[in-house]
């Protein structure tokens, strides 16, 4: 993987870059739609490519390991061939999902024992096994196995957790260097900066990871219960340390305004289930604000979903029709909302990139944050 820094904003740390992988190029800043079990919920691959304009999607190691399983993925020739996505792909480590199974998992020095959320069967993830799973899935960018510390963890727990993650990282790197992708393309391993909300832990983690000179670096363990301002503080601290010539990936974040604030602080890559999950619940993000499509106010509004929207669905369907579909629990309503929100998120990233290159990001960003946080 190669990363080229195209332009840096003169008044902030916002950057425009270009990532090159064996499956294609990615312009940054970039938002990655989440395809948890190998599909972005309710969205067709052709819509992701041609209408939404996604350049990279994300798969989930934990979920893909459980379903369809490694034998199926290997037999298909990897996830790219299994789901017919021929562009770049990233897989997370499964650490966040294991972290979420609080009642059904046990962490040891060796790894994480957990029970499947599907059938209760017992499984064990070691750093080595997670590397092997991600090799089999075949994503272009893969993540080191980590413990995702809760946002409200006390200092002693956060320190112990970080130390475990650092020892696991050493084992991940060793296993990664001993193996190859079975499908012939190159894969890049990103370490993950942890440390909860404690500046000294985050600084230590970032310094240790910066010294590894990996192809790129991830920032994890944020947007998991800590105050938003604390998240921004940690991002800023970490990005002052991580190499400027490598892409920085903020995991699992978030709202449109969170993305813009993080871009200003030097983040290049994002993923989040929010656009599709919230869309399925009737929340629509637009250039002028946020709409709850279940509200009565849209019942007789026959104007387009968004006059100058980023997707074909925005002018094809009306607000009244989308409200009707969502309130009737029609599958088409979930599809329209998901397509719209993903297209909006990717439009927002492309617009941010354009303003960074033009030198107008610092003027555009406050105006855009005012717009996207407005309730319509």
* Nearest alpha-carbon partner for 141 in 13, 52, 307, 26: 26
Per-residue pLDDT tens for 82-110?
A: 999 999 999 998 877 777 766 778 889 99
Mean predicted confidence (pLDDT) in 347-364: 98
Catalytic residues: 92, 271
pLDDT (0 to 100) of residue 195: 97
Segment 311-328 mean pLDDT: 98
- CA-to-CA distance for 291 and 302, rounded, in angstroms? 15
Q: Tens digits of per-residue pLDDT, 16-56? A: 999 999 999 999 999 999 999 999 999 999 999 999 999 99
363 is in an annotated binding site: no
H helices present in the chain, as ranges: 45-46, 61-66, 70-76, 79-83, 95-100, 127-137, 155-178, 199-210, 228-239, 256-264, 274-280, 313-316, 319-327, 331-358, 361-372
- Model's pTM, two decimal places? 0.97
pLDDT in tens, 252-278: 999 999 999 999 999 999 999 999 999
**Annotated binding-site residue? 289:** no
**b/e code 65-77 from CB counts within 10 Å (16+ = b):** bbebeeeebbeee
Is 94 labelled as part of a ligand binding site? Answer: yes
What are the residue ranges spanned by the domains of the chain?
A: 2-271, 273-376
For 143-202, how does the pLDDT look when each residue is reduced to its tens digit (9 = 90+)?
Answer: 999 998 888 999 999 999 999 999 999 999 999 999 999 999 999 999 999 999 999 999
Fold that domain 2-271 belongs to in CATH? TIM Barrel (3.20.20)
Sign of CA dihedral 309, 251, 88, 358: positive
What angle in degrees, to the nearest 10, is found between the helix axes of 361-372 and 256-264? Answer: 160
Ligand-binding site membership of 51 (annotated): no
Query: Is 154 labeled as ligand-binding?
Result: no
pLDDT of 102: 65
Spatial separation of the C-alpha atoms in residues 4 and 192, rounded to whole Å: 21
Distance CA 122, CA 272 (A): 28
222: pLDDT strictly greater than 90 = yes
């Amino acid at each position: 993987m190669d990363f080229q820094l195209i332009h840096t904003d003169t008044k902030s740390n916002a950057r425009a870059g270009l990532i090159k992988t064996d499956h294609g190029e990615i312009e940054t800043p970039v938002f990655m739609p989440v395809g948890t079990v190998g599909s972005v919920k309710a969205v067709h691959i052709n819509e992701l490519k041609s209408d939404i304009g996604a350049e990279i999607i994300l798969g989930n190691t934990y979920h893909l390991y459980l379903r369809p399983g490694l034998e199926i993925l290997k037999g298909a020739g990897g996830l790219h061939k299994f789901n017919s996505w021929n562009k770049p792909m990233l897989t997370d480590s499964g650490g966040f999902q294991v972290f979420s199974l609080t009642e059904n998992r046990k962490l040891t020095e060796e790894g994480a024992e957990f029970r499947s959320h599907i059938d209760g069967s017992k499984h064990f993830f070691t750093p080595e096994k997670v590397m092997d799973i991600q090799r089999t899935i075949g994503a272009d960018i893969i993540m080191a196995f980590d413990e995702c510390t809760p946002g409200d963890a006390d200092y002693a727990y956060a320190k112990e957790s970080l130390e475990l993650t650092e020892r696991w990282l050493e084992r991940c790197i060793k296993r990664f260097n001993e193996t190859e992708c079975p499908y012939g393309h190159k894969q890049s391993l990103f370490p993950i900066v942890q440390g909860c909300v404690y500046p000294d832990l985050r600084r230590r983690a970032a310094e240790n990871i910066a010294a590894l000179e990996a192809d790129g670096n991830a920032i994890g363990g944020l947007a998991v219960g800590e105050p938003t301002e604390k998240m921004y503080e940690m991002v800023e601290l970490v990005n002052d340390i991580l190499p400027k010539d490598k892409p920085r990936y903020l995991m699992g974040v978030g709202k449109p305004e969170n993305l813009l604030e993080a871009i200003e602080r030097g983040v290049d890559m994002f993923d989040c289930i929010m656009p599709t999950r919230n869309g399925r619940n009737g929340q629509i993000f637009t250039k002028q604000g946020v709409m709850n499509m279940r509200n009565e106010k849209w019942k007789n509004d026959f104007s387009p979903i968004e006059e100058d929207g980023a997707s074909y669905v925005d002018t094809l369907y009306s607000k009244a029709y989308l409200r009707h579909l969502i309130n009737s629990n029609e599958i088409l309503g979930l599809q329209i909302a998901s397509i719209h929100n993903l297209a909006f998120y990717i439009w927002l990233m492309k617009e941010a990139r354009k303003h960074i290159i033009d030198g107008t990001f610092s003027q555009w960003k406050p105006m855009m944050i005012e717009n996207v946080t407005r309730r319509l």
